[in-house]
Amino acid sequence: MALDLTAQIALLRNVATRLRIDSIRATTAAGSGHPSTCCSAADIAAALFFAEMRFDPQRPEDPDNDRFVLSKGHAAPLLYAAWAEAGAFPREDLLRLRELGSDLEGHPTPRLPFVDVATGSLGQGVGAAVGIALNARRTGSAYRTYVLIGDGESAEGSVWEAAAVAAHYELGSLCGITDVNALGQSGETAWGHDLQPLRRRWEAFGWNTILVDGHDISDLLGAFEAARRVTDRPTMILARTVKGKGVSFVEGKGGWHGRPLKKDEEALALAELEAQFVPGPGEDEAAASIAAPPRTSAWVEPASGAEIAPPAYAPDASIATREAYGTALVKLGTVDPRVVVLDADVKNSTFSDKFEKVFPQRFFQHFIAEQAMLGVAMGLASRGAIAFPSTFAAFFTRAYDFIRMAAISGLNVKMTGSHAGVSIGEDGPSQMGLEDLAMMRTQPNIAVLYPCDAVSTERLVAGMAYHPGPVYLRTSRPKTPVIYGNEESFPIGGCKVLRRSENDVATVIAAGVTLFEALKAYEQLEQAGIAIRVIDLYSIQPIDGAALRQAAAETNGRLITVEDHYAGGGIGDAVAAATTGVASVQKLAVREIPRSGKPDELLDRFGISASHIVTAVKG
């Protein structure tokens, strides 16, 4: 549809007014929500959705659609109103905002087909948008990626990590818009309405910047067009806005964050807004004005994983599981072009550099910025990639809020944490992942895997790629012997009973490095005439409860868990939960802040070596 500029601006002004009306009506109906933050961004959303972006509102999954991320997730009603205006669903649905039966939640989640990543934890949208923009390179599409952020959330460091990565990758297809309404939740932002500090920051981080009046449609259209012409770096449009714009008694006032209008206030506001409609094209013409995406991508994602080369280890080999992870990534990447690998300057420790050497185009470097790595992984995964970010197990704590949001989003983010536990030795506690199992396992939809040898690592890396949703794999620093045959399979949710007799007095359950302590203990006890069962719990979540309960039933109800992890929330707790009422679980785990030392010394000092297992069995 060809409208002249005057008609187009009139159309967009009216769209913005309807978006404000819808946002207010929805939040008043819900009795909660953030109408004032919707009003500040309504003109931006109108210009973006109904003039700038090229997409098919009926097919939000279209691989060539321009993409939009609402980083300031509390403006969800505005997002929903825009998609309703675009015809994606009936406008009446907006009045079911925040109801239990509605997918129009308080903050956006991918339950909605037009939401790629859940937002609402501020500062995460830019990272996701960077991942989505990088995905266009992977699939060869010309789609552009837009992200709307708040000025308040620009204080989050994660924004600047992502900004740096976007500039590093020269993402000209990425365009951000900052809704500078000057008001945070509890007061004015650090900068108020002064756009210059934000301009200086974005430019210092390598972005093109454009300053506009965020309520001037013509200004906004010009900025989007100018942004499209800058192809060697991302653009941030800094839009000066007024929180609550369009409703006189809310405009620019404190105390309106996260507060819906009461019924009488709503009536006043709607009357004011109705009066703001201008003569111009009608409501139907808004949706019709959306341009379809050009067919640029011939990309078809493979339906499922092809056959992966099996492990090929000599029976007497000794290989760190972290190294087997790198080998597995290469095999996986060879058969599946969806596989991408992400690093934060530890690729030579996690061994993800093996993948980089073979597939440099599918390897993304974030430098020392774990939140950016996770955010980008989320964005890539949201558009069809199978994303493998890896770093030290300890440093996933840096990105835990992103991991939490990846779980809420149910994305195919496949995390691998190396250097788990005190067995890393001399580097000391800051480098020891001792809470990673707990932080991953508490997320109900994250699978948690922990191989002890190279064969199980390779099998589990392949398994995690095709397990739906987020997965965490824990690898170890020390070399460990290969104990499994190359043909062995390791279904997620299973375990391996490695030692078993009719006379077992107890079952020792271990994983990773402690499995070898358990096997040592088995031999020492055998010489003393004591038989134990030994289980390799390579899958901690889901857990093989039936096998554990059977072992308990056959070994006097005595289970001893041993883990290179803190005592809370890890293997011991997982086993206890799976066997409650049928077993007594003695946990051998790290129970204090550890310190530097040699790996074997530390296993012993912190109570998880073979000798401690022997004592526990005898005790």
By CB under 8 A, the residues from 175 to 194 that bind its own copies are: 184-187, 189-190
CB 345 to its own copies: min, Å: 5
Q: Is 93 in the site for its own copies (CB under 8 A)?
A: no
* Residues 593, 136: Cα–Cα separation, whole Å: 45
Burial 79-114, CB ≥16 within 10 A → b, else e:
bbbbbbbbebbebebbeebbeeeebbbbbbbbebeb
Provide the token pair at 250.
Answer: 């809310």
Question: How many Cβ atoms are within 10 Å of 5's Cβ, its own excluded?
Answer: 10
Closer of 129 and 455 to its own copies (Cβ): 129
The size of the interface with its own copies (CB under 8 A), counted in residues, is 117
523: CB partners within 8 A, 6+ apart: none
Query: Is the Cβ–Cβ distance between 28 and 262 less than 8 Å?
Result: yes
CB 458 to its own copies: min, Å: 23
Closer of 73 and 244 to its own copies (Cβ): 73
Query: Is the torsion defined by CA of 96, 102, 106, 112 positive or negative?
Result: negative
Residues 124-183 that bind its own copies (CB under 8 A): 152-153, 155-161, 164, 168
CB 191 to its own copies: min, Å: 10
Closer of 311 and 425 to its own copies (Cβ): 425
CB 227 to its own copies: min, Å: 20
370 catalytic per annotation: yes
Residues 380-419 that bind its own copies (CB under 8 A): 394-395, 397-398, 400-401, 403-405, 407-408, 410
* DSSP per-residue codes, 454-499: HHHHHHHHHHHHHSSS-EEEE--SSEEE--S-TT----TT--EEEE
Window 536-555: contact mask with its own copies (x via CB under 8 A): -----x--------------
Residues 194-223 that bind its own copies (CB under 8 A): 197, 200-201, 203-206
Residues 245-304 that bind its own copies (CB under 8 A): none
Query: Is the Cβ–Cβ distance between 258 and 33 less than 8 Å?
Result: yes
CB 324 to its own copies: min, Å: 19
Closer of 443 and 456 to its own copies (Cβ): 443
Q: Is 577 in the site for its own copies (CB under 8 A)?
A: yes
Residues 352-381 that bind its own copies (CB under 8 A): 353, 365-372
Beta pairing class for 584-590 and 533-536: unpaired
Among 60, 77, 123, 281, binds its own copies (CB under 8 A): 123
Preceding amide of 542 cis, omega within 30: yes
Q: Is 584 in the site for its own copies (CB under 8 A)?
A: yes
CB 540 to its own copies: min, Å: 10
* Residues 289, 470: Cα–Cα separation, whole Å: 38
* Inter-CA distances, 511 with 273, 395, 570, Å: 63, 21, 11
- Active-site option among 105, 323, 370, 435: 370
* DSSP per-residue codes, 27-59: HHHHT-S-HHHHHHHHHHHHHIIIII-B--TT-
- Catalytically active residues, by annotation: 370
